[in-house]
């Protein structure tokens, strides 16, 4: 398993091309599996289930992508982790639903390390934070693609992005709820902890072995 972190923002088309190439190399047993930690410049991506009506305002470039899911936003302050894994090697019987559950669990355990409770919701992929007033906001998104049992794309956790940028879309097709970030949740809890991307990366890497 290789872990790679890009220190500057990564162009989306470049990222997809790199993922597809690496996935092919993994299938051919020419390269190891890879976790790639990136940030993107502001952009929207449309998954295979995206509805045109959910693009409210194209404030940023829009990319059609082969991952599952609907519209999502990527941008500075959001940790995107692309996971290129061989499910045949990792699971006795390859199971995509199990894999998505593991990505969710990885985010939940990472958030818990910072004192934030992330939760699943039936019928809604991703991770949510409940509020005392009964509302809930999305803090993490998941969109994966699997080809010949090798995965690519992955997850996105809102660490400290500009949340107003989500206003150009209906995130993941859900307009009844809002979005939040780890920084916002910590500020509202008045923990005094100013989380950094490096902090989050360290916890993700620590929790990896517990889930996968």
Report which of 154, 114, 109, 116 is spatially closest to residue 137, judged by C-alpha positions: 116
Query: Which parts of 5-95 fold into alpha helices (H)?
Result: 12-27, 87-90
Whether the CB-CB separation of 127 and 118 falls below 8 Å is answered with yes
pLDDT at res. 176: 60
d(CA 105, CA 210): 10
Stated pTM of the model: 0.94
> What is the DSSP pairing of strand 2-5 with strand 43-46?
unpaired
Q: Is the pLDDT of residue 77 over 70?
A: yes
Collect all residues with Cβ–Cβ distance below 8 Å to 173 and sequence separation of at least 6. Answer: 49, 50, 51, 54, 70, 71
pLDDT tens-digit readout, 9-61: 999 999 999 999 999 999 999 999 999 999 999 999 998 888 888 899 999 99
Domain residue spans of the chain: 2-211
d(CA 48, CA 143): 10
d(CA 18, CA 84): 11
CATH class of 2-211: alpha beta
pLDDT tens-digit readout, 81-133: 999 999 999 988 999 999 999 999 999 999 999 999 999 998 888 899 998 88
Active site residues: 172
Mean predicted confidence (pLDDT) in 161-171: 92
List, in sequence order, every residue forming a beta bridge with 169; answer none if it has no partner.
55
Collect all residues with Cβ–Cβ distance below 8 Å to 209 and sequence separation of at least 6. Answer: none
The number of C-alpha atoms within 13 Å of 10 and in the hemisphere containing its C-beta is 22
Mean pLDDT, the chain, integer: 93
Mean predicted confidence (pLDDT) in 189-194: 79
| Phi, psi values for residue 176, rounded to 5° | -85, -10
């Amino acid at each position: 398993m290789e872990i790679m972190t890009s220190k500057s923002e990564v162009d989306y088309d470049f990222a997809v091309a790199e993922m597809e190439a690496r996935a092919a190399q993994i299938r051919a047993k020419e390269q190891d599996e890879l976790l790639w930690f990136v940030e993107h410049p502001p952009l929207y991506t449309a998954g295979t289930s995206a509805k045109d009506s959910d693009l409210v305002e194209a404030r940023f470039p829009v990319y059609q992508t082969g991952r599952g899911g609907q519209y999502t936003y990527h941008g500075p302050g959001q940790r995107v982790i692309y996971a290129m894994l061989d499910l045949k090697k990792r699971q006795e019987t390859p199971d995509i639903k199990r894999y998505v559950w593991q990505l969710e669990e990885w985010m939940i355990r990472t958030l818990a390390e910072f004192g934030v409770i992330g939760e699943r919701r039936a019928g809604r992929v991703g991770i949510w934070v409940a509020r005392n007033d009964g509302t809930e906001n999305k803090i993490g998104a998941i969109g994966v693609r699997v080809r010949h049992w090798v995965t690519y794309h992955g997850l996105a956790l809102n660490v400290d992005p500009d949340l107003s940028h989500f206003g150009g879309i209906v995130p993941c097709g859900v307009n009844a709820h809002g979005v939040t970030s780890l920084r916002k949740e910590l500020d509202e809890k008045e923990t005094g902890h100013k989380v950094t991307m490096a902090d989050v990366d360290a916890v993700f890497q620590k929790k990896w072995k517990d889930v996968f």
